[in-house]
Amino acid sequence: MQVTRELFNEVMVPNYNPADIIPVRGLGARVWDQEGNEYIDFAGGIAVNVLGHCHPELVNVLKEQGEKLWHLSNVLTNEPVLRLAKKLTDATFAEKVYFANSGAEANEAALKLARRFALDNYGPEKDQIISFKQGFHGRTFFTVTVGGQAAYSDGFGPKPGAIDHVDYNDLSALEAIMSERTCAVMMEPLQGEGGIISPTQSFVEGVRDLCDKHNALLIFDEVQSGVGRTGELYAYMGLGVTPDILTSAKALGGGFPIGAMLTTTAIAAHLKVGTHGSTYGGNPLACAVAEKVLDIVNTPEVLNGVKQKEQQFREGLKAINDKYHVFDEVRGKGLLLGCALNEKYQGRARDFLVASAKEKLMCLVAGANVVRFAPSLILTDADIQEGLARFERAVAAVVNA
Ligand SMILES: *Cc1c(COP(=O)(O)O)cnc(C)c1O
């Protein structure tokens, strides 16, 4: 069978519009397409391929587990899921873990748990969920409604209720809307899809205080910011603010689908037998891979490496900007960086992405005004230098077009 990009339009639901090339192989931070062209990957499968493509230790564990046991359902437990849960609870504030298959599913579980917790402890009036404009929490109907872009949740009929949105980094707006009715506040401790926006220290501390004051749970969506991305295992560790519930996915599986919701024993107790579940959540194959990802990422070597590589990126991007004057700032933390375009290039992030692809560099956008990088956490100096050289040529092409 001849597999071409045209086939996509023929047989796929048109909710995506992928690039013209079809990648067939990857290794580290490099990817090759059907024609054998080599790309440098600064996108990391949207902050997923945290150890690059086909990391030998991940390939090994996948093969080994693949010959042992793939799936049982949650009628039975298994060794990889218990080992992974133990390691996640040892490494974080959490005492209990629920496994799912994606970020949206982990968030769905977090939101349902928060509602149960409030119902059991305070009654049905305590149902308000507050989240932030431009926030992103996934595409199930509950999570997309909690997300801060109505355009993503409109047009599907009646939405789940009791959900309010306020501006990120606006503590007084949050304070004004919170009350004893507030069940939970859900936030990304570094907004990803919304444009790579860091919380101010006073904001994130203030959110924690307001949640405590109103007996509301604080949910950190670390689907994009977690598992080493910011140079800490989870971003909350760098902020010094601990949530009640934390969700993780994307990088957790290094490219294999998995999601997790982490919380305390007291809160977890409200998801009693039969209240929630997933056929595939916690399957041995995904958990074996994620365990290996965690073993490798949660080391000083990799986490400190992220901080060093962030500096290399920032220096390289500054040099490019000194020459071409296209960004207002480079924001974000660790290897989740966003170049915010200046006045002159507003709305043109996609042009930079297309120009980069022509130079054989994969990058991302975060909205119309931010070019985003979320590469492998262990990409080499040579990958960074060559990738930035390609990005410079792409910037020059846009500027001189
Ligand atoms: C990607 C993302 C999600 C959704 O994850 P899926 O695996 O696509 O369901 C949720 N929250 C954040 C912060 C994300 O970046």
Question: How many Cα atoms within 13 Å fall on the side-chain side of residue 241?
Answer: 23
Ligand 1 nearest-atom number relative to CA 107: 10
| Span 231-244, pLDDT tens digits | 999 999 999 999 99
Q: How many structural domains compose the chain?
A: 2
pLDDT at 129: 98
pLDDT of residue 144: 98
Residue-wise DSSP of 285-344: HHHHHHHHHHHHHSSHHHHHHHHHHHHHHHHHHHHHHHHH--EEEEEEETTEEEEEE-GG
CA–centroid distance, 398 to ligand 1, in Å, is 30
The pLDDT score that the predictor gives to residue 396 is 98
215 and 266 co-located in one domain: yes
Same domain, 342 and 279: no
Are 312 and 269 in the same domain?
A: no
Say whether both 44 and 171 belong to one domain: no
* Residue 346 near residue 369 (C-beta atoms within 8 A): yes
CATH of the domain at 349: 3.90.1150.10
* 281 close to 105: Cβ distance less than 8 angstroms: yes
- Determine the Cα–Cα distance for residues 135 and 113; give it in Å rounded to an integer: 20
Residues 6 or more apart in contact with residue 367 via CB below 8 angstroms? 134, 193, 194, 195, 349
Q: What is the predicted pLDDT for the residue at 21?
A: 96
Asked if residue 131 and residue 39 are part of one domain, the reply reads no
Let me know how long the chain is: 401
114 known ligand binder: no
Q: Are residues 363 and 270 in the same domain?
A: no
Q: Ligand 1 pocket check: which of 99, 140, 224 to mutate, most ligand atoms within 8 Å of Cβ?
A: 224
29 is in an annotated binding site: no
- Does 315 share its domain with 273? no
User: Which residue from 268, 264, 265, 392 is spatially nearest to 327, judged by alpha carbons?
Assistant: 392
Task: Give backbone dihedrals phi and psi of 299, rounded to 5 degrees, phi first.
Answer: -130, 150
Nearest atom within ligand 1 for CA of residue 222:
13
Element (H, E) at 124: none
Question: 246, 279, 298 — which closes off a domain?
Answer: 298
Q: Which of 251, 242, 248 is nearest to 302 (CA)?
A: 251
Q: What pLDDT, on the 0 to 100 scale, is given for residue 96?
A: 98
Which pLDDT tens digit goes with each residue over 182-233?
999 999 999 999 999 999 999 999 999 999 999 999 999 999 999 999 999 9
pLDDT in tens, 289-317: 999 999 999 999 999 999 999 999 999 99
Residues 40-60: what's their mean pLDDT? 98
Gap between the Cα atoms of 97 and 90, Å rounded: 11
- Give pLDDT, residue 141: 98
Q: Tell how far the Cα of 240 is from the centroid of ligand 1, in angstroms.
A: 23
The DSSP H or E segment spanning 214 is: none
Q: What is the mean pLDDT of the chain?
A: 98
The structure tokens 């390691």 sit at 87
Query: Is 279 marked within a binding site?
Result: yes
224 assigned binding-site residue: yes
pLDDT for residue 167: 98
pLDDT band at 371; cut points 50, 70, 90: very high
Answer left, alpha or beta for residue 63, where phi above 0 means left and psi between -120 and 50 means alpha: alpha
Beta bridge partners of 217: 184
Same domain, 207 and 337: no
Rg, the chain, Cα only: 21
Do 103 and 231 sit in the same domain of this protein?
Answer: yes
Whether residue 339 is found in the same domain as residue 261 = no
Q: For residue 60, what is the enclosing H or E element?
A: helix 56-66
Give the pairing of strands 361-362 and 38-41. parallel
Domain that holds residue 368: 5-55+300-400
Give me the residue label for tokens 């009929």.
157
139 belongs to an annotated ligand binding site: yes
What is the Cα 266 distance to its own chain's centre?
26
pLDDT 10s digits, 63-100: 999 999 999 999 999 999 999 999 999 999 999 999 99
End position of a domain, from candidates 281, 298, 315:
298
Question: 123 CA to middle of ligand 1, Å?
Answer: 30
- The Å distance, Cα 99 to ligand 1 centre, comes to 15
What does the pLDDT look like over 244-287, one tens digit per residue? 999 999 999 999 999 999 999 999 999 999 999 999 999 999 99
Helix (H, G, I), strand (E, B) or coil at 230: coil
Indicate which atom in ligand 1 lies nearest the CA of residue 225. Answer: 13
Based on the fold, state whether residues 247 and 337 are members of the same structural domain.
Answer: no
DSSP string, 350-361: HHHHHHHHHTTE
Q: How far is the CA of 221 from the centre of ligand 1 (A)?
A: 8
Model pLDDT, residue 292: 98
> Using CA positions, which residue lies closest to atom 10 of ligand 1?
137
pLDDT recorded at residue 224: 98
Q: Are residues 260 and 321 in the same domain?
A: no
Considering Cα of 285, then 301, then 97, then 276, what sign does the dihedral take? negative
Tell which residue, 33, 34, 26, has the closest CA to residue 54.
Answer: 26
**pTM of the full structure:** 0.98
- At which of 282, 298, 314 does a domain end? 298
Please name which of 93, 99, 129 lies closest in space to residue 111, comparing C-alpha atoms: 129
Which of ligand 1's atoms lies nearest the C-alpha of 104? Answer: 9
CA distance 367 to 383: 26
pLDDT at 308: 98
